[in-house]
């Protein structure tokens, strides 16, 4: 009888349903923000911009990444940062606080392995800005287990190619002062887009020698492996340069040029990038230029929207009819489609750089 009771208790434990993203209202996005009183936090937002949950942050946040199975998010400090918080989005509890090794800094972004067992974090060696990717065991309390090189200087955003464990890394190429982020190597910088295996082997690399001062910063990935990367120009702003590139591993790069009259409107700065639903269009934002530019996946520009201090950008859900959802520094969450802007919600918040879509 004791054995039967024991087996029954095991069965009961196994039958307890695990929490899912539905238990926190099925958020569509994660976004960091600053409140009017100066407090920082990370928020879960619905598809319509409704604020579903909030978690305080000890300092300014940048981006986040969501666990692929359980309602758990990792919020990263703005670079150069020294914290990443693992948040149980059901209870609001911080279940782990990640700190980079001595002499390292987090660089604002991370990504999970396909099975959710490993978290990859974008990092730099503080002195010299050599890139590293930290590996953390998400199945065992986020214990650091290894690291690999990023194949470049100043890595920023990292993603995993859909259906694989190949990492895509935006190596910005900028060596910065570890204290105040002053650029130190603009005349010799060499940004690149690198494709790495989980053990650090370089599978492919893209450089733009003719645009060596165009820092590759942020990424969006389509389900078929097309990578959109946006850039931030560190050279003479009187020169018109493309700020969006498209690439597929093993193939050439397509650079996307602005519409006539908008060559300089972005002021050399693209802050976020996202695919629209269906993947036929790609948008980039510029908080400096107050502009969202949208391109076809062939590289041709199609429409744009002006909005002051716009930066966060994500795929709009099907219920909104396609397009994009954007956030700005005035607390607006808006739907963008075919050159139009429709407000979804407003808050007394300054949304930060990114609107992270949960898939």
What CATH number corresponds to the domain at position 228?
2.130.10.10
Mean pLDDT within 322-330: 96
Tell me whether strands 61-66 and 72-77 are parallel, antiparallel or unpaired.
antiparallel
C-alpha to C-alpha distances, 3 to 6, 43, 61, 263, nearest whole angstrom: 5, 47, 51, 75
What is the residue-wise DSSP string for 204-226?
EEE--GGGTTEEEEEEEE-TTS-
**What does the pLDDT average to over 301-309?**
97
Is there a contact between 56 and 40 (Cβ–Cβ < 8 Å)?
yes
* pLDDT at 17 (0 to 100): 57
Q: What is the pLDDT of residue 12?
A: 45
Q: Kindly state the tokens that stand for 170.
A: 């935006």
What is the mean pLDDT of the segment spanning 92-105? 91
The H-or-E segment that residue 65 falls in is strand 61-66
Q: What is the pLDDT of residue 9?
A: 44
Nearest to 289 by CA among 229, 232, 356: 232
Q: How many whole angstroms separate alpha carbon 33 and alpha carbon 82?
A: 18
7-32: average pLDDT: 65
User: Sorting pLDDT into bands at 50, 70 and 90, what band is 98?
Assistant: very high
Residue at 319 is within a domain: no
More confident residue, 20 or 239: 239
- Supply the mean pLDDT for the chain: 91
CA dist 281 and 278 (Å) reads 8
pLDDT higher than 70, residue 165: yes
Domain that holds residue 245: 19-279
Q: Which has more confidence, 180 or 122?
A: 122
DSSP class of residue 49 equals: S
Is residue 201 one of the residues assigned to a domain? yes
Lowest mean pLDDT among 139-143, 179-183, 197-201, 232-236: 179-183
Between 10-14, 161-165, 304-308, the lowest mean confidence (pLDDT) is in: 10-14
> Could you tell me the pTM of the whole model?
0.92
Strand partners, 65: 74
Residue 129 forms part of a structural domain: yes
Q: Write out the two tokens for 265.
A: 């409107």
d(CA 99, CA 167): 22
Which pLDDT score is estimated for 1? Answer: 36
pLDDT at residue 179, rounded to an integer: 78
Q: How far apart are CA 11 and CA 229, in angstroms?
A: 48
User: What pLDDT, on a 0 to 100 scale, did the predictor assign at position 16?
Assistant: 45
Residue 54 located in a structural domain: yes
pLDDT of 355 > 70? The answer is: yes
Residue 93 Cα to chain centre, angstroms: 23
For residue 230, is it within any domain? yes
Q: pLDDT-derived band of residue 359, with 50, 70 and 90 as boundaries? A: low
Burial (CB < 10 A; 0-12, 13-18, 19+), residue 87, is: buried
**CA-to-CA distance for 335 and 106, rounded, in angstroms?**
31
d(CA 20, CA 66): 12
d(CA 162, CA 177): 34
- For the stretch 257-274, pLDDT in tens is 999 889 899 999 999 999
> Residues 357, 314: contact at Cβ < 8 Å?
yes
Average pLDDT over residues 218-227: 97
Quick: pLDDT tens for 71-87. 899 999 987 788 999 99
Residue-level pLDDT at 20: 74
Distance of alpha carbon 63 from alpha carbon 8, whole angstroms? 44
Tell whether 163 is covered by a domain: yes
Q: Is residue 330 included in any domain, yes or no?
A: no
Q: How confident is the model at residue 3 (pLDDT cuts 50, 70, 90)?
A: very low
10 has pLDDT over 70: no
Domain-embedded: residue 358 = no
The domain tally of the chain equals 1
């Amino acid at each position: 009888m004791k054995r039967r009771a024991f087996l029954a208790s095991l069965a009961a434990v196994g039958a307890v349903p695990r929490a899912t993203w539905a238990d926190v209202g099925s958020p569509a996005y994660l976004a960091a923000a600053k409140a009017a009183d100066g407090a920082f936090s990370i928020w879960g937002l619905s598809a319509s911009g409704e604020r579903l949950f909030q978690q305080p942050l000890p300092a300014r946040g940048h981006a986040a990444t969501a666990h692929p199975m359980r309602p758990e998010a990792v919020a990263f400090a703005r670079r150069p940062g020294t914290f990443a918080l693992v948040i149980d989005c059901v209870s609001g509890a911080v279940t782990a606080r990640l700190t980079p090794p001595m002499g390292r800094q987090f660089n604002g972004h991370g990504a999970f392995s396909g099975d959710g067992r490993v978290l990859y974090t974008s990092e730099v060696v503080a002195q010299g800005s050599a890139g590293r990717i930290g590996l953390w065991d998400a199945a065992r309390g986020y214990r650091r287990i290894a690291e690999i090189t990023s194949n470049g200087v100043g890595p920023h955003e990292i993603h995993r190619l859909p259906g694989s464990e190949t990492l895509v890394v935006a190596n910005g190429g900028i060596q910065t002062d570890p204290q105040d982020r002053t650029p130190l190597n603009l005349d010799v910088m060499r940004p690149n887009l690198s494709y790495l295996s989980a053990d650090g082997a370089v599978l492919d690399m893209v450089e733009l020698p003719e645009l060596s001062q165009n820092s590759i910063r942020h990424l969006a990935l389509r389900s078929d492996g097309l990578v959109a990367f946006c850039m931030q120009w560190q050279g003479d702003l009187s020169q018109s340069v493309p700020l969006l590139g498209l690439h597929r591993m093993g193939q050439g790069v397509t650079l996307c040029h602005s519409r006539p009259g908008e060559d300089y409107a972005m002021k050399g700065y693209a802050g976020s990038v996202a695919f629209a639903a269906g993947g036929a269009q790609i948008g980039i934002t510029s908080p400096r230029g107050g502009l969202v530019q949208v391109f076809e996946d062939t590289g041709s520009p199609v429409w744009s929207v002006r909005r002051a201090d716009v930066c966060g950008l994500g795929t709009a859900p099907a219920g909104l009819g396609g397009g994009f959802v954007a956030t700005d520094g005035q607390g607006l969450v808006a739907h963008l489609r075919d050159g139009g802007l429709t407000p979804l919600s407003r808050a007394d918040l300054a949304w930060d750089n990114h609107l992270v879509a949960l898939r």
